[in-house]
């Protein structure tokens, strides 16, 4: 009977597979059904002989359930894998105690188990919907082609249909790129416990934090990010961690905040390790909403813990007050101390390099604090500093001469480590034998804390990262996002994958990289050679490397080198992250996507209209800079090793700005047709109207369901649709104009820093933060103009002052519906026309937009004269 039970369990587990407990509903696998769990439970406890109990357990541990779902004990609730159930753990321990088998065999299995698993999501329904939409769009283009010559009327009406067809052809092309990107959806499952069992000693890790303006990026936000990184879980190897902070503003306030943070870290980091604190950014852990101390990680809520919690909280509040008070005081009061003498004669954009060791783990204690180092690279007025890319390259060089870790993590100053085990998760993807030779970096998704309800500005990008993000992962890997990314140092130094033939695709092998490309510092060049050979560690202690660090942080160090061209982050674009990632992948490297639960990093999303639009403008400008440069994805595919589908994905991303032109024209077509009493869509009574109507209905219903699947509301879906139209008409359009001015040599692009917002006093977002705000920027003119044009067209329709239509060619219900939909999309601008202060559109913007809309109406009236003669 026992043997039959064993065979049954084997069939259930191996024959049917497992999802690791992550499935749910009717789609879950048989091995995860409750009755199967109950059957295994009964077999484990009722089998009379120990060997039978062991065999059943072996099926649970070594077959699909364990391989796909082991979580190292960090899971919880009904979703955890069967191998992590308490009764399975008890049974396993009992088997060891009974001596029924050799324990070394189980340890050997642990050593051989993969550090990560790939899960390919079944998306047959999504593919069917995507293909259906594509076929409908092609059908609409075919309808245009058939009707465009037979269409009766003047040449202006034919031109209207030609313009509509051109826009729809562009939309079809973009949709082909989208379908190609999300055809396969892939996610990774990582197993940090296996890493700790397999790896005797964790590798060194350098962590970079970049900040550029203490006014737009408050130092207390940067301090919390630094503290969360210093407290990450790195068992037995904390002395191998180093945190570098790049201050591009050379602000004594930033250095002051870091100095105070280092003292607080001596209390905070041991507290987090002792009680296994999960949230290791103090401003979140001690949020005003948490009036009572939360339970410690182990579930203990002892008086000792509560007493320490109160003490640590008081110390953090003291730190916060000191930083805020220093921000209010004049700089001279901060510079009075001797340690701030280096900042005495500095100016913004004109100062020597500054490198200071704020904290050093001198005893190299495994349970000590990571190194903390402050860097402000040299800046001079006549030297181009290349914005964030230049700061990152300076960080790479300084860290290369001081600690020279084989792996590097970079985050923005507001992206704190929310998951304390994130370094272990990322190393699972970098150290597994399957990925060790071809995975260049591990990118974590950008997620945000204190997000506004229903994402009124559509900038949290939840669905974009969940759907399209997983699609990109299945090709050659995700883009480098500029923050939350773990790099191999030797990849940043220009090395190629070991499986790439350097004689093909114009690639260079590691041996062909000239050391002269890295600069003139002899100490740095020695360590570069070690890094390229996968040998980590610096030769000297931190203080003895300060002179070399200052040398490589000077503004003239990069002259005559390949920094920014072939080595480090690539220059030439304000989106240096995308350009760098594409350059790396064009050499044959792949990238991986790490999205653990809880999220790896959390940052603050921009709020208000100006901040959101300016960020999108900067992104679209930088992406277009890459598209028109020599380092575009087409060239990387033809002359490099960038895969074709990955090239299509990059094209989809880089043409964000260009999409604004056809979308803006298509948004104006309904108003044009109403004013001229013509039409660009089939009449309601014509069967052909079902084609565009079906595209509109299917697309919107499916995107709504995607939002539901990501746990978002219908209001969040509508906010995303609304802000997508606003960003396209305003931010993306200005990105195109910026590139045109740069190409014509009239002006150059400028890197604009996004303002980082802090939580309100009660720890909750301000109720008015969800309202759309305006300023004097001309970026709001296109949206205001589109709205005024639509209102003018609808007013002319209601007043009956349209020109007479020829036959049945007048504007119809479809054009009116599209015009009303455009008004709904730009509803925040309609409210802005009536609003006041920052919630109202400035009068100058309204006057300029009114003038532009008047010109458009006059143009429509002029074209209608020839249209209906």
- The full DSSP string for 279-303 is ---HHHHT-TT--SPPPPTTS---H
Read off the pLDDT band of 444 (50, 70, 90).
very high
Note the pLDDT of residue 109.
52
Joined together, the tokens standing for residue 177 give: 């790129």
For the question of residue 577 being annotated catalytic, the response is yes
Q: What is the pTM of this model?
A: 0.84
How much is the pLDDT for 147? Answer: 85
Q: Where are the domains of the chain?
A: 2-113, 124-181+646-867, 193-293+302-446+481-605
Per-residue pLDDT tens for 242-288? 999 999 999 999 999 999 999 999 999 999 999 999 999 999 999 87
Which residues fall in the annotated binding site for UDP-alpha-D-glucose?
Answer: 217, 248
pLDDT-derived band of residue 401, with 50, 70 and 90 as boundaries?
very high
Q: Is the dihedral of CA 579, 584, 590, 592 positive or negative?
A: negative
The arrangement of secondary structure in 193-293+302-446+481-605, i.e. its CATH architecture, is Alpha-Beta Complex (3.90)
Strand ranges for 122-173 from DSSP E? none
Bridge partner list, 241: 205
Q: For residue 58, is pLDDT > 70?
A: no
Residue scoring higher pLDDT (10 or 721): 721
DSSP state of 419: S
In which band, very low, low, confident or very high, does the pLDDT at 583 lie, cut at 50, 70 and 90? Answer: very high
Average pLDDT (723-738) is: 94
**What is the average pLDDT value for the chain, to the nearest integer?**
84
Give 110's pLDDT tier (boundaries 50, 70, 90). low
Is 581 a residue whose pLDDT tops 80? yes
Q: pLDDT (tens digit, 9 = 90+) per residue, 634-679?
A: 999 999 999 999 999 999 999 999 999 999 999 999 999 999 988 8
Lowest mean pLDDT among 32-41, 441-450, 491-500, 520-529: 32-41
pLDDT confidence tier of residue 842, bands split at 50, 70 and 90: very high
Taking the C-alpha atoms of residue 90 and residue 81, their distance in angstroms, rounded to an integer, is 15
Q: What string of DSSP letters covers 786-854?
A: HHHHHHHHHHHHHHT-SPPPSTT-S--HHHHHHHHHHHHHTHHHHHHHH--GGGS--HHHHHHHHHHHH
Give yes or no for residue 735 having a pLDDT over 80: yes
Of the residues 154, 206, 233, 577, which is catalytic?
577
Mean pLDDT is lowest, of 52-61, 325-334, 718-727, for: 52-61
Mean pLDDT check: name the lowest of 497-506, 735-744, 776-785. Answer: 497-506
What are the phi and psi torsion angles at 108 (to 5°)? -65, -40
What is the model's pLDDT at position 515? 87
Helix/strand/coil for 194 = helix
Q: Which residues are known binding-site members for Mn(2+)? A: 388, 412
Task: Give the separation between CA 816 and CA 811, rounded to whole angstroms.
Answer: 8
Query: Which of 69-73, 74-78, 508-512, 859-863 reaches the highest mean pLDDT?
Result: 859-863
Longest CA span, the chain: 99
Please identify which of the residues 5, 248, 450, 455 carries the catalytic annotation.
248
Q: What is the pLDDT of residue 801?
A: 84
Q: Please confirm whether the linkage preceding 598 is cis (ω < 30° from 0).
A: yes
543-558 tens-digit pLDDT: 999 999 999 999 999 9
Query: Residues marked as binding?
Result: 217, 248, 388, 412
């Amino acid at each position: 009977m026992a043997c039959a039970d064993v065979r049954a369990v084997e069939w259930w587990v191996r024959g049917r597979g497992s999802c690791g407990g992550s499935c749910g509903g009717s789609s879950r696998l048989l091995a995860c059904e409750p009755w199967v769990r109950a059957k295994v439970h009964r077999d484990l406890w009722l089998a009379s002989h120990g060997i039978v109990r062991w065999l059943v357990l072996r099926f649970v541990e070594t077959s699909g359930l364990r391989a796909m779902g082991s979580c190292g004990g960090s899971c919880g609730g009904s979703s955890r894998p069967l191998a992590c159930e308490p009764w399975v753990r008890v049974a396993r321990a009992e088997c060891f105690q009974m001596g029924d088998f050799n324990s070394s065999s189980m340890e050997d299995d642990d050593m051989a188990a993969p550090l990560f698993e790939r899960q390919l999501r079944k998306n047959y329904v999504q593919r069917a919907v995507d293909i259906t939409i594509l076929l409908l769009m092609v059908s609409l283009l075919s309808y245009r082609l058939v009707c465009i010559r037979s269409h009766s009327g003047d040449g202006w009406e034919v031109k209207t249909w030609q313009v509509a067809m051109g826009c729809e052809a562009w939309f079809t092309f973009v949709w082909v790129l989208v379908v190609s990107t999300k055809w396969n959806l892939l996610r990774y499952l990582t197993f940090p416990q296996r890493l700790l069992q397999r790896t005797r000693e964790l590798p060194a890790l350098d962590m970079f934090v970049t900040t550029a303006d203490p006014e737009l990026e408050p130092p207390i936000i940067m301090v919390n990010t630094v503290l969360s990184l210093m407290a990450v879980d790195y068992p037995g190897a904390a002395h191998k961690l180093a945190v570098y902070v790049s201050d591009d503003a050379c602000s004594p306030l930033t250095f002051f905040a870091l100095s105070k943070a280092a003292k607080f870290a001596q209390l905070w980091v041991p507290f987090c390790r002792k009680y296994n604190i999960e949230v290791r950014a103090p401003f979140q852990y001690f949020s005003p909403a948490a009036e009572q101390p939360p339970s410690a990680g182990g579930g203990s809520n002892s008086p000792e813990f509560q007493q320490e919690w109160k003490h640590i909280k008081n110390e953090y509040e003291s730190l916060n007050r000191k930083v805020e008070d220093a921000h209010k005081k004049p700089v001279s009061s901060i510079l009075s101390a001797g340690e701030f003498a280096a900042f005495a004669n500095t100016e913004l954009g004109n100062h020597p390099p500054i490198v200071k060791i704020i904290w050093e783990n001198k005893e190299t204690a495994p349970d000590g604090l990571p190194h903390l180092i402050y860097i402000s690279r040299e800046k001079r007025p006549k030297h181009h500093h290349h914005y964030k890319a230049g700061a990152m390259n300076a960080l790479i060089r300084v860290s290369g001469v001081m600690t020279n870790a084989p792996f590097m993590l970079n985050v923005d100053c507001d992206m704190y480590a929310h998951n304390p085990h994130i370094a272990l998760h990322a190393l699972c993807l970098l150290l597994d034998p399957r990925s060790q030779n071809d995975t260049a970096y591990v990118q974590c998704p950008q997620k945000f804390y204190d997000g506004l309800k229903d994402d009124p500005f559509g900038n949290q990008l939840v669905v974009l990262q969940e759907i399209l993000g997983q699609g990109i992962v299945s090709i050659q890997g995700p883009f480098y996002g500029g923050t939350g990314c773990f790099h191999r140092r030797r990849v940043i130094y220009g090395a190629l994958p070991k499986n790439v033939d350097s004689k093909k695709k114009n690639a260079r092998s590691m041996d062909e990289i000239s050391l002269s490309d890295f600069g003139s510092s002899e100490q740095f060049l020695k360590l570069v050679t070690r890094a390229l050979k996968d040998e980590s560690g610096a030769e000297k202690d931190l203080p003895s490397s300060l002179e070399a660090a200052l040398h490589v942080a000077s503004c003239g160090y990069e002259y005559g080198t390949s920094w920014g061209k072939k080595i480090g982050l690539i220059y030439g674009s304000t989106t240096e992250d995308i350009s760098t990632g594409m350059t790396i992948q064009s050499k044959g490297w792949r990238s991986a996507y790490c999205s653990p639960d809880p999220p790896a990093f959390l940052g603050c999303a921009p709020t208000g209209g100006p901040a959101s639009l300016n960020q999108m403008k900067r992104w679209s400008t930088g992406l277009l800079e890459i598209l028109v440069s020599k380092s575009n994805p087409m060239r990387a595919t033809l002359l490099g090793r960038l895969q074709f589908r990955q090239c299509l994905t990059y094209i989809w991303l880089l043409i964000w700005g260009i999409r604004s032109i056809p979308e803006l024209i298509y948004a104006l077509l309904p108003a044009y047709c109403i004013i001229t009493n013509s039409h660009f869509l089939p009449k309601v009574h014509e069967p052909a109207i079902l084609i565009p109507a079906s595209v509109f209905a299917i697309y919107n219903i499916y995107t709504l369901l995607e939002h539901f699947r990501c746990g978002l509301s219908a209001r969040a879906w509508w906010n995303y649709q609304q802000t997508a139209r606003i960003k396209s008409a305003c931010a993306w359009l200005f990105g195109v104009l910026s590139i045109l001015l740069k190409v014509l040599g009239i002006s150059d692009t400028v890197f604009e820093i996004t303002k980082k917002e802090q939580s309100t006093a009660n720890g909750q977002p301000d109720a008015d933060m969800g309202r759309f705000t305006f300023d004097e920027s001309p970026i709001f003119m296109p949206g205001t103009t589109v709205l005024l044009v639509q209102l003018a067209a609808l007013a002319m329709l209601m007043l009956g002052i349209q020109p007479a239509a020829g036959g049945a060619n007048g504007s119809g219900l479809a054009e009116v519906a599209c015009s009303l939909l455009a008004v709904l999309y730009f509803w925040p601008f309609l409210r802005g026309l009536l609003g006041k202060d920052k919630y109202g559109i400035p009068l100058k913007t309204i006057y300029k937009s009114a003038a532009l809309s008047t010109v458009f109406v006059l143009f429509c009236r002029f074209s209608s004269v020839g249209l209906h003669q």
